[in-house]
Amino acid sequence: MTQTAIVEVAGLTKVYGSGAAEVTALDAVDLEVPAGQFLSVMGPSGCGKSTLLNLLGGLDTPTAGTVRIDGQTLGDLPDDQLTELRRRRIGFVFQFFNLIPVLDAVENASLPLRLDGARGAEATATGWLERVGLAGRLRNRPDQLSGGEQQRVAIARALSTEPALILADEPTGNLDSKAATEIGELLRQVSSEWGRSVLMVTHDPRLASFAQRLVLMRDGRVVDDVTLDGSREGPRQALERSGLL
């Protein structure tokens, strides 16, 4: 595999339960994500998308296979080093924002840095909030922000530790179409301008069109892996070709 790959997955398998109740959520998946690439993952519910995301984020352990993030094999790391890798090299963006209600935008975005004891945490967070378009909302709490603005805070928080990889789980699932488009454009900027690898799970073909590459999954396996051209119809056409629409 190439030296510039931020994500390297080989034979990744996850089995839940045993005997008659056994379910194979991921079935020998191989995947590589180069530095700075924006990759979208799509497929029907239960196809393994969320399981893949959890394994890449070190939130779950595989039954078989390996996950390497930024050159480190997750299965080889003791718990404290895995926690450190997750906190410093991976940024997480969730559907429901996961902001702390009593903290303002700067306090929320700087939280990972402050937990890590980093100097200049608020200044770093402020810089990222300005870059994601929230210069005028720095001292607003989540209940004073729109859904799209809250997700921007979450993206700034994810970027504040200068991670190599952003994992985004249905990041626009809670947003209207206008805000969803803005978040899609922002995630593309995270990749193209700020050089982070972005792996996004989504059900929305329109959102997937902002990515450079689309991986389609079914029954725990990758069934297609296509380069996107930026057209709005690209993901939908790929889904149709694979029989997923």
Task: Report the pLDDT value the prediction gives residue 198, as an integer from 0 to 100.
Answer: 97
- pLDDT for 116 equals 85
Number of domains composing the chain: 1
Task: State the DSSP H helix or E strand holding residue 87, giving kind and residue range, or none if neither.
Answer: helix 79-89
What is the extent of the structural domain holding 49?
Answer: 5-241
1 pLDDT band (50/70/90 cuts)?
A: very low
pLDDT at 179: 93
Q: What is the mean pLDDT of residues 205-233?
A: 94
Provide the pairing of β-strand 64-69 with 90-93: unpaired
Q: What is the mean predicted confidence (pLDDT) over 76-90? A: 90
Answer yes or no: is pLDDT of 149 > 60. Answer: yes
Q: How far is CA 182 from CA 92, 149, 185, 187, 192, in A?
A: 18, 10, 5, 9, 15
pLDDT-based confidence at 19, cuts 50/70/90? Answer: confident
In a 3-state reduction of DSSP, which class is residue 94?
Answer: coil
Residues 156-213 have pLDDT tens digits of: 999 999 999 999 999 998 889 999 999 999 999 999 999 999 999 999 999 999 999 9
**Mean of per-residue pLDDT scores for the chain:** 92
Measured CA angle at 88 (ends 56, 193), to 5 deg: 85
Confidence label for 88 from pLDDT (cuts 50, 70 and 90): confident
At position 57, the amino acid (one-letter code) is G
Tell me, what CATH number does 233's domain have?
3.40.50.300
Interval 74-90 mean pLDDT: 90
The whole-number pLDDT of residue 182 equals: 94
Phi/psi of residue 196, each to 5°?
A: -90, 145
* pLDDT at residue 57, as a whole number: 93
Contact between 166 and 158 under an 8 Å Cβ cutoff? The reply is: yes
Q: Are 58 and 74 in contact (CB under 8 A)?
A: yes
CA distances from 189 to 74, 96, 147, 222, 226 (A): 28, 21, 19, 26, 20
Share of the chain above pLDDT 70, in %: 99
Q: How confident is the model at residue 124 (pLDDT cuts 50, 70, 90)?
A: very high
Q: What is the pLDDT of residue 90?
A: 94
- pLDDT of residue 53 exceeding 70, the answer is yes
What's the mean pLDDT in 82-90? 90
Cα 45 from Cα 5, distance rounded (Å): 28
Asked whether residue 2 carries a pLDDT value surpassing 50, the answer given is no
- Beta-bridged to residue 226, according to DSSP, are 214
Residues 57-67 have a mean pLDDT of: 93
The pLDDT assigned to 144 comes to: 96
Whole-model pTM: value is: 0.93
